[in-house]
A and B are shown apart, each in its own frame.
Chain A
């Protein structure tokens, strides 16, 4: 379950890392280029550039296991979602608007930490694969003593509640 406050973070211009693995359990990493929260927080749609994502897509088609980490460069606030991919398709024209918004928002995040737009805006983002996954678990990955703890465990009482805040996310949207 991705909660409303978390969804805003996921859909902002934060850094997206996608982890998968081969049938032989060899890990693979690639940068994502946009994300949307779907199905009331039960699912996540992640975009992966075709230019760099071939191995990742092959892994997903093999076994569907995926981990996606979202990290804000400025303060390292990080969340990781894990689950199983339920659909892979090529991005549509509607998806392209999401990816393009992400590209600009991410460039702004990176500008804050000193990466110039002439570089960040050159990262290949389109065409992209759209990968839809069902979220099974979420982890707070913000570096520190609690890194890797299950995220939002205290909220599992039921959906629809307004979360009073969560470990490591004070002040986050």
Chain B
């Protein structure tokens, strides 16, 4: 039976590079690897063109190309006979292919050098399975089980219902993000995920919730425009990258060439946030209208973990999370709300209290605890204000409203993301200094709980 293009999905994920043969009008053949073959529709594929090369010169003269695709799951090989149709240099197809290239370029410090020149669309004239490419399975070699790619959960609507319900019941931002990531894990097995929100500067995204990275995910920063997450934030489009190893190797090969040819690579290579051995990434912008309120990132060690279904599904969840974030930020000031989201957890004072030394550096709004960096910027200023106020007046409950009205904190007049900054601060304290807790007592109000004595020192700068 002739295979159908639409059934070759795994071949288009870039896990194993494809090969393309073309022929010049003078009869000279050419064969090379391709960085990306993209499924367009049941009759068309698009090949990525990053550099003008022999393949493009050949199809300009003689429009036929033969592409070998290797299925990364079954390892069957398929031969596609193609005829060049047209090139696209803008539009949705170009944007989608370009984004993937940009992500790889950004990860290898090649932004602006390794970029999509055009998406070359070819008509698929024939598809055939390359019979005999693999010999029959050998029991001796086949001792290991084949990779499983099952994956679409049977009751996705039920799963959506469950997640949607949890998100809409959340009473504050921290709970919303926690339940959303928990539900993604429990219901659909997205076990490594994170949500990043824009910081004060608008130049960076800060991880405020994560799942699957132990306690170390929160606080990680990504410069907007860098890497997968940063690129998604700029372009406000979802991106899915599979076969990360393969794609990064390809990007690095180009980086080496560019360095040697003197084109330079100003940006250092950016380490991937999250799993050090992630093979697949899916990141999507969390937008309300055209405004970016955050980025949801999901990772897996399985290069084929994410497919079109995951894209569609996460887009729905992402929209709900985005609206939830916006809702929380709009209403977290409602001090009079009777809902008690989390009762204060007062611990018995331990008989021997430790003493923590906090230092605030005025020049960069940075707080160190016992000589170790704790938090900076607005979360740092908030912590300092709370600690100082407590020391001076004994005040132990604080409202979001009073923080907003305090000009020394420098919160913007609108969309100040105060709640996300409090989450970041709370998480950093949980991780680095569990003796100091900021416990929500009701919406828009939190209590300072100290399990230690504190010493506060203010300095102009680290050298002062």
| Interface, chain A (partner B; CB < 8 A) | 17-21, 25-31, 49, 51-52, 63, 65-69, 71, 73-78, 80, 82, 113-119, 121-124, 139, 141-148, 167-168, 170
Contact = CB atoms under 8 A, between A and B. Distances in A.
A146 B263 CA distance: 11
Nearest to A126: B135
Majority-rule SS of B interface residues: mixed
B257 A147 contact: yes
A118 B75 CA distance: 11
Interface stretch (B23-31, B393-401, B434-442): B23-31
9 contacts: A27-B22, A65-B29, A66-B29, A67-B30, A76-B33, A118-B141, A118-B144, A123-B134, A144-B258
Contacts of B31: 17-19, 27, 29, 67-69, 80
Interface of B: 16, 19-23, 25, 27-33, 35, 50-51, 53-54, 62, 64-68, 75, 77, 79, 81, 113-114, 130-138, 141-144, 245-246, 249-250, 252-258, 260-261, 263, 303
B29 A142 contact: no
Contacts of A26: 23, 64, 66, 81
B253 A75 contact: yes
Contacts of B35: 143
A29 B55 CA distance: 13
B138 A122 contact: yes
Nearest to A20: B29
A78 B249 contact: no
6 nearest CB pairs, A to B: A144-B257, A19-B31, A51-B132, A76-B253, A29-B21, A27-B21
A102 B168 CA distance: 59
Given A21-B29, A25-B27, A52-B133, A118 B138 contact: yes
Nearest to A23: B27
A80 B30 contact: yes
B130 A113 contact: no
Residue among B32, B62, B141, B256 with max Cβ neighbours from chain A (10 Å): B32
Contact of B249 (A49, A76, A139): A76
Contacts of A69: 31-33
A20 to B, nearest CB: 6
Contact of A21 (B27, B257, B261): B27
A113 to B, nearest CB: 7
Contacts of A25: 23, 25, 27, 62, 64
A57 B75 CA distance: 24
Contacts of A146: 257, 260-261
Contacts of B260: 146, 167-168, 170
A119 B132 contact: no
